Amino acid sequence: MKLSFCRNSIHSLFGTVIFSGLMALTSTNAFAENVTIGALVSGQVTKVNVEEGQEVKAGTVLLEIDQNRYKAKLAYLKAELAVKKAQYEDAKIELDQALDLFDRTVTAKRTLDAAQLQHDVAKANVDKAQAELKMAQSWGPYFKIKAPFSAKVVKIHAPMGTTVYKENNPLIELETK
């Protein structure tokens, strides 16, 4: 058996090495390789767009995983970002007022320092919320499993309704030409 490595392997499953990059390559001859495709996300398979024996081109969407939980998390993170931005705007106003009062020697330096700290924390919270949203958005493409190259569908390991629990569960097997 010929074994081709694309990336570091995670574990072996029935003689097929599963990779973090969604593919595992195994071969019994020099002309064709079987590739097992997995997912980096968990959820229920909602759509299978191919059949066993079908020829597919690179980029063809083979199957889709439910995105409802993902979309709800995005909505939550967008709302959280809006709250953090509003808090930041309020902290800017408070800081401006504290600066004005300090400049007129109406308030102590401690009051100005507290307003500055509140402003800085609010800004950091906005930055954190933006990063969390961006990180969550980066998972979007993984809910559609696409053919990495032109191939023939050999086996569908996850028919519609199957729940994918762990990343890199075998979903579909392709044979390269």
Summarised one tens digit per residue, pLDDT across range 66-115 is 999 999 999 999 999 999 999 999 999 999 999 999 999 999 999 999 99
Q: Where in the chain is the domain with CATH 1.10.287?
A: 69-137
Supply the pLDDT for residue 123. 98
What does the mean pLDDT of the chain come to? 85
Q: Where in the chain is the domain with CATH 2.40.50.100?
A: 2-60+147-176
Residue type for position 122: A
CATH architecture of 69-137: Orthogonal Bundle (1.10)
Q: How confident is the model at residue 31 (pLDDT cuts 50, 70, 90)?
A: low
- Angle formed at CA 86 by CA 81 and CA 87, multiple of 5 degrees: 95
* Residues with Cβ within 8 Å of residue 127, at least 6 apart in sequence: none
CB 6 within 8 A of CB 21: yes
CATH topology for the 2-60+147-176 domain? OB fold (Dihydrolipoamide Acetyltransferase, E2P) (2.40.50)
Q: How confident is the model at residue 2 (pLDDT cuts 50, 70, 90)?
A: very low
